Amino acid sequence: MTRTLLAIVAASIWLISMASADPRCEGRKDVVEACFDLRGRVSVSNGTPFVRIWPVGTKRLLGVETIIDEIGGEGETFSGPENLKKWLDPYSRIFADLRVCPLSEERAGYLRTVCIEAAHNLRIERISDESAEIEFIYVSETDKEVR
């Protein structure tokens, strides 16, 4: 009886610690292939998933995994690196060196789902609401803005 109770308590503690951890993409069990690096444009679009990547020089689009917030009722949220989240909104196009991990197989004509592991060398194109002018912002490796 004591061993069973101890096993249940240990399993509960392990499950709670796993649920609270924010797993990196590369360590997840649902990654279907090796992670890879690319230069791409990250932007918000209409539809699901709402965050998409255009790998520069291709005719492909990748859909970035989003999390549906069923508790708060806020809809979908983007679960990517903080330096990317900071700049991502409907008025920004972000060019970056990305490390992505595929969560679905490659199929011609279908949007492939990926998870963003890391983003570096950001170049943000921010479009003004009123004038439609584009402001360029560069973010270095140390996350310092250069306008």
* pLDDT score for 2: 56
* pLDDT score for 142: 58
Which parts of the chain register pLDDT below 50?
3-22, 147
Q: Please state the three-class secondary structure of the chain as a single string.
A: CHHHHHHHHHHHHHHHHHHHCCCCHHHCCCCCCCCEEEEEEEEECCCCCCEEEEECCCCCCEEECEEEECCCCCEEEECCCHHHHCCCCCCEEEEEEEEEEECCCCCCCCCEEEEEEEEEEEEEEEECCCCCCEEEEEECCCCCEEC
* pLDDT score for 67: 76
* pLDDT score for 70: 60
* pLDDT score for 10: 39
Q: Structural domain boundaries of the chain? A: 30-146
* pLDDT score for 112: 94
Q: Is the pTM of this model over 0.85?
A: no
Share of the chain above pLDDT 90, in %: 41
* pLDDT score for 9: 37
Model pLDDT for residues 92-104, shown as the tens digit of each residue: 999 999 999 999 9
* pLDDT score for 43: 94
Torsion over CA: 95, 98, 102, 103 (sign):
negative
